[in-house]
Structure 1
Amino acid sequence: MTSTQPEKRSSRSAKILYRPWGLVASVLGGLIAGQVFQQVWKRVDPTSTDDPPKPLESEYPLQKILLAALVQGAIFSVVRALINRGGARLFERWTGEWPGD
């Protein structure tokens, strides 16, 4: 797949300066994703009054545990991608340099 946008250049200093921002964004993204997952899980399994099942909780069938893991993984991946991309764009707007690549 080819991109129609020109490749953005990044300097070593931009990558280093972005690291603290990236760490904060990752933690924030994890918190947001956790909250989103809790709300989505309530809709996926409306009969559940507890938190989503964890792999070592024997009272849940494997199918339910795998579904919870699938939903959680998808949400975390999408939220992480959105947060990282948005953070990189904001960093570029402030500094004029793309922090990735």
Structure 2
Amino acid sequence: MKASKIAYKPVGMALGAVSGMLAGAVFKEIWKRIGNDEDAPDATDEDRTWREVMTAAVLQGAIFAGVKAAVDRGGATATRRLTGVWPG
């Protein structure tokens, strides 16, 4: 394994945690605006429809993937600017 990859590992883990928190906050805000409730439905929520549950799950997954990709790409770009080496 390359030294740059090993050195980037803790940075990548920290960025992953930050992106997860950010994605959660973004999803919660979007769900409040488009949903009928403050909280997104759980898959086992008996009072919610299939449509609500699946819409929430797909939206949450898309937001998480987009935020994670943006944060990971930004971290890799910043690492290259600082070190001259792409961390991948």
Answer yes or no: same fold by TM over 0.5: yes
2:58 is the counterpart of 1:70: yes
Instruction: State the secondary structure of the residue aligned to 1:98.
Output: coil
Distance 1:26 1:58 in 2: 32
The alpha carbon displacement at 1:76 in A equals: 0.2
State the alpha-carbon separation in 2 of the partners of residues 74 and 43 from structure 1: 17
Q: Which runs of 5 or more residues in structure 1 are unaligned?
A: 1-10
**Once the 2 structures are TM-superposed, how far is the Cα of residue 84 of structure 1 from its aligned partner?**
0.1
- 1:51 and 2:39 matched: yes
Counterpart position of 2:12: 22
Largest Rg, 1 or 2: 1
Q: Which runs of 4+ in 1 moved over 4 A?
A: none
Gapped regions of structure 2 (runs ≥ 5): none
| TM-score, normalised relative to structure 1 | 0.83
Distance in 2 (alpha carbons) for counterparts of 1:93 and 1:16:
17
Amino acid at match of 1:82: A
Match of 2:83 in 1: 95
Q: For residues 25 and 52 of structure 2, what CA distance do their matches in structure 1 show?
A: 19
**Which residue number in structure 2 is paired with residue 38 of structure 1?**
28
Q: Taking CA–CA contacts closer than 8 Å with sequence separation of 6 or more, which of the two structures ends up with the larger relative contact order?
A: 1
What is the match of residue 5 of structure 1? none
Letter in 1 for 2:55: L
Question: Residue type of the partner of 2:51?
Answer: Q
Equivalent residue for 1:60?
48
Question: Percent identity between the aligned chains?
Answer: 39
